[in-house]
Amino acid sequence: MKKRKWLGVCFFFLLLFSGAATANAYERATFKDFVAGADADNAQLGASVECATTGRSMDISFQTMELSEDTYSTVTAYRSESRSMDLEGSVMVGIANMQNQTARMNFSIIDQSGSAFQVKEGCYVALRDDQTTYVPVEKGCFEIPAGFSGELEIPFPVLSNDAAKEALSQKITGYGFVCVVAGQSRYHLKFYDMNFLDSSEAVNAHEAAILQINGDATVRKPETGFSEASFSASAYNMLGEEQKTDAEFSLSGKSDAGVTVTKDGLLKVLPEAGETVTLCAKDKKQDLWAEMPLTLERSWTTLVLTDNGYDASVAKPEDVAPVIDTDIWNLEEQGVWIIRGLLLLGTVIFFIYYVHARKKNRRNL
């Protein structure tokens, strides 16, 4: 009985401390005190930032129907709060794009001096629904696809220029979202269940996360023979830094008749190939996957390899433009003899001049 009792006590404390550790791995944030920024005061936008009384969700909506398409507007929603941050942690928030068009935005933190830091150009954020997609920051924003509903995770290292690291190492004074939209558009994003994760729960921004296939998306398809195209793969982490990868290539298996690819990415196309094929790359060790749709364009060329391996693909005679125009003097037999005569005459003149000069020199001696 005593042994069972002690086992029960130990099990109780194990559950207690493991629960405490889990609870400390993330901290729930509230939307209750979020307010709209000054940019929302533009009457043309009709901006609205509404937070649920429970603090669990927030809706940001506005429209730019009165503005031209080349005009961009922003609406900012932020919360003033003094808090410490884990430099390797992240913020995770549920997000739903309620419109049928792409939404553009960024996340911002504010340090004690009032300076704002956003996700850097070339870095990535993670979107998760039934799968994880890494979205790059381009022109100061990342995109939320039309109709998307899932999680957005932003690791703090993607904010970390030197100034942001200093701000994160101390207490920040606020954070929020910057929404960007072009003219003639409507914008409605719903945010919910925001949490700050520590480094034990956050995505590791330094590990390889994105696999990219490099090469031309259009490959020629010959009438005879075969054609070849080379592809390579690159891996990047969420900071946009290139990482080592041992990715191997394959085909999707969908309508890939007449097409083969080596593990190293050398694609071979035969005349019987279809119009499209999907090239795949996979890094098994890092669990990375990428696909690239290829368009196979018909070409009359055929691969002709010389002894030294040079690709001497030759055009059909009827498809080659004449090198010499018909208006230019034609090199027929008569023309060839004229050229030979002129060369001979030039040689004779030079010889006569040489003999005359030699005799003159002898007389002078």
Mean per-residue pLDDT for 238-262? Answer: 91
Query: Both 177 and 34 in a single domain?
Result: yes
Q: What does the pLDDT look like over 103-155, one tens digit per residue?
A: 999 999 998 888 889 999 999 999 999 999 999 999 999 999 999 999 999 99
| pLDDT of residue 349 exceeding 70 | no
Query: Both 144 and 291 in a single domain?
Result: no
Query: Both 188 and 59 in a single domain?
Result: yes
CA–CA separation, 257 vs 242, rounded Å?
A: 34
Query: Both 80 and 146 in a single domain?
Result: yes
Tell me, yes or no, if the pTM score tops 0.75.
Answer: no
What is the CATH number for 217? Answer: 2.60.40.60
Query: Both 165 and 236 in a single domain?
Result: no
**Within a domain: residue 353?**
no
CA–CA separation, 33 vs 53, rounded Å?
A: 10
The per-residue pLDDT for 363 is 61
> Based on the structure, what is the number of domains in the chain?
2
Report the chain's C-alpha Rg in angstroms: 35
Query: Both 177 and 227 in a single domain?
Result: no
The per-residue pLDDT for 128 is 97
Query: Both 118 and 231 in a single domain?
Result: no
Of the candidates 269, 258, 266, 259, the one whose C-alpha atom is nearest the C-alpha of residue 221 is 269
Query: Both 184 and 218 in a single domain?
Result: no
The per-residue pLDDT for 342 is 56
Q: Contact at 8 Å (CB) between 125 and 137?
A: yes
Kindly report the average pLDDT of the chain as a whole number. Answer: 82
CA–CA separation, 59 vs 54, rounded Å?
A: 13
CA dihedral 111, 114, 120, 125 (to 10 degrees): 60
The per-residue pLDDT for 71 is 81
Containing structural domain, residue 155? 24-197
Strand partners, 249: 281
Q: Cβ contacts of residue 149 below 8 Å, gap of 6+? A: 95, 96, 97, 129
Backbone angles phi, psi at 346, to 5 degrees: -60, -35
**Within a domain: residue 245?**
yes
The per-residue pLDDT for 224 is 87
